[in-house]
Amino acid sequence: MPLEEELIEQLHRTESITLTMMNRFFDTLCVDERRRIYYEMVRYWRGVLRLVKPAAIIFPNMPHFVYDYIIYELAHIFGIKTILFDDTRFPGRLLLFTDFERLTETLKKELAAHAGRKVSIDELAPDIRTYYELRSRRDFSATPSYILDQKKKHTSWKLGIPWRRVERSIRDGSFARKVPRFFLWLMWERVPFLLIKLYTHLSIPGIPDLKKEYKALEQTPQFEKPFVYFPLQKQPEKTTSPQGGVFVDQLLALEIISASVPPGVVIYVKEHPLQWLHFGIRFNSTRYLGYYARIAKIKNIVLIPLATDSYRMINESIATCAVTGSAGWEAALRGKPAMIFGKVWYEDCPGIFKVAGAHDCAEAMRMIMGGYRPDAGVIRNYLKCFESVTVRAFIAQTSGRASTVSALECMENLSAFIVKELEK
C-alpha cells in the first residue's frame, strides 16, 4: 500500500539523512527524484518487514547505504531488535551496540563504574598497550593503514582483469574458445570504465575542477600563530552521514568554530587525502562548484595544502576539530584537546569536547585557552574500560590484517555476542 502521512512524518529525520546519503549513488538526481526513490524504498522495506516479521536484524556495519539505513529506522519504529558493529581504530577490536543513538552506552556505564581511576600502562591488554605507546608519541607519523589501502586501490589503473580465471582457462584448455568473448568484455566494459576514470581524475586545461579551485585558495600554514586544525572528512561516507547528523554539512561546523574562537586564532582546514582520489576532481553533490571558496570566506579560516603533515598540525594546534574523524582521536591520545560534532565510538574519551552549537564550542575554547589538557592516566583508564567492552573481532579486512585475531576467532567471538544479545 502507498505510504501514509503518519509514517512519513515519523521518518522526517530519516528522510533528511537519506537524501544526503544518496549523494553516493544518485549524485545527478534532483531532490524530488531522490525523494521518490526514498518513498519507494520505504514502501518496499515496510512490506518486507511486515511479511517476514524478523525477531532481530543484524547489521555488519553502521548502516549508511540508504537501503540499510531505511531498514534500521523502520526496525525501530516496528520494535524490532537491531544489532550493529563498528570497527574502531584499534585493529581487531569491535564496538557492538543495539542503537545508533546510544552508540557508547555500554562504555559509558563502564566509565561511570571506574570514574577517577588512573591506570598504568602495564595494566592495558598487550594489543591496546602497543597501540597506545606508539600513537601517544609526539613523533609518530605513520599513514593509517586504511588510507594506504585506499590509495593503492584508487591509484590502480588496471583494467580489472580476473587473472586467476584467465590462468584457470589456460590450464583447462578453454582459453582459446573464450578469447573472443573476453575481448568483447574488455572493449565494452573495462576500457570505457578506464576512460571515465581518466576523465574524472585528471586535470584538463579549460575545464574547472576541485583541485584547481582548492589550489587557488590554499596558503602555507604559519605555525608560530595559535591555530585550530580542522581536517575535512571524505564524503559521502558514514562518518558524516549518518554519524555527523546535521554536521554532514561540514561548513556548519566550521561556522560554529569561527564564531567561537578568540581573536587572533586561525582555523586551518585541509581536504581529506582520499577525497579527490576516490571520487575524482569533477564537481559533485558533496564538493560542488564554489565549495572551497565558501569555506575560505568564513572568518579566520585558511585552506592549507594537502601535502601538509596532519600529525604536525595536531601537535602544533591548540585544538583539533572534526565531525567524527580520526584526527580527534589521534589528538586525544597525544594529550591534546579535541572537539567533535557528531556521534563516534571515541566520543567519551577524556579531552574530547562534544559540540552542538556556538555556546558549546565557546565554552570548550575557554577551557582549552585556559590550559586544559587531558591527563594521561585518565586516558589510560578510558582505554582499560574500552578494552573490557569491546570484542576481539573485525569487520574490515584492513583491520583484520593489522590485528592478531584469526578469522576463526573473529567468527567465534562475533557469534557468541550475537547469541548473547538474541537471548536477552
Cell of 94: 569491535
Cβ(384)–Cβ(122) below 8 Å: no
> What DSSP state is assigned to residue 189?
I
CA 87 – CA 80 distance, rounded (Å): 23
Residues 6+ apart with CB under 8 A from 2: 43
pTM assigned to the model? 0.91
The amino acid present at 323, given as its one-letter code, is V
Q: Within 13 Å, how many C-alpha atoms sit on residue 143's CB side?
A: 13
Query: How many beta carbons lie within 10 A of that of residue 32, not counting itself?
Result: 7
Task: Find the helix or strand (DSSP H, E) in which 180 lies.
Answer: helix 175-185
Beta-sheet strands, E only, within 13-78: 56-59
**Spatial distance between the Cα atoms of 373 and 311, rounded to a whole number of angstroms:** 18
User: How many other CB atoms are found less than 10 A from the CB of residue 254?
Assistant: 23
Specify the 3-state DSSP secondary structure of 298. coil
The rounded distance, in Å, linking the Cα atoms of 410 and 397 is 11
Rounded to whole angstroms, the Cα distance separating 348 from 77 reads: 28
Q: Which three cell numbers stand for residue 312?
A: 604536525
Q: Which amino acid is at 190?
A: R
Q: Domains in the chain, start-ordered, CATH in brackets?
A: 5-113+390-422 (no CATH), 130-145+209-384 (3.40.50.2000), 163-201 (no CATH)
Distance from CA of residue 343 to its chain's centroid? 11
Render each residue's pLDDT in the chain as its tens digit; 424 residues.
999 999 999 999 999 999 999 999 999 999 999 999 999 999 999 999 999 999 999 999 999 999 999 999 999 999 999 999 998 888 899 999 999 888 899 999 999 999 988 899 999 999 999 999 999 998 888 777 667 677 666 665 555 667 788 888 888 988 888 888 888 887 887 778 788 888 898 899 999 999 999 999 999 999 999 999 999 999 999 999 999 999 999 999 999 999 999 999 999 999 999 999 989 999 999 999 999 999 999 999 999 999 999 999 999 999 999 999 999 999 999 999 999 999 999 999 999 999 999 999 999 999 999 999 989 999 999 999 999 999 999 988 777 778 889 999 999 999 999 999 899 8
Residue 185, phi then psi, degrees to nearest 5: -60, -45
Taking residue 410's Cβ as centre, other Cβ atoms within 10 Å add up to 20
Task: Give CA–CA dist 162/195, Å, rounded.
Answer: 19
CA 272 – CA 154 distance, rounded (Å): 14
For 97, the 3-state DSSP assignment is: strand
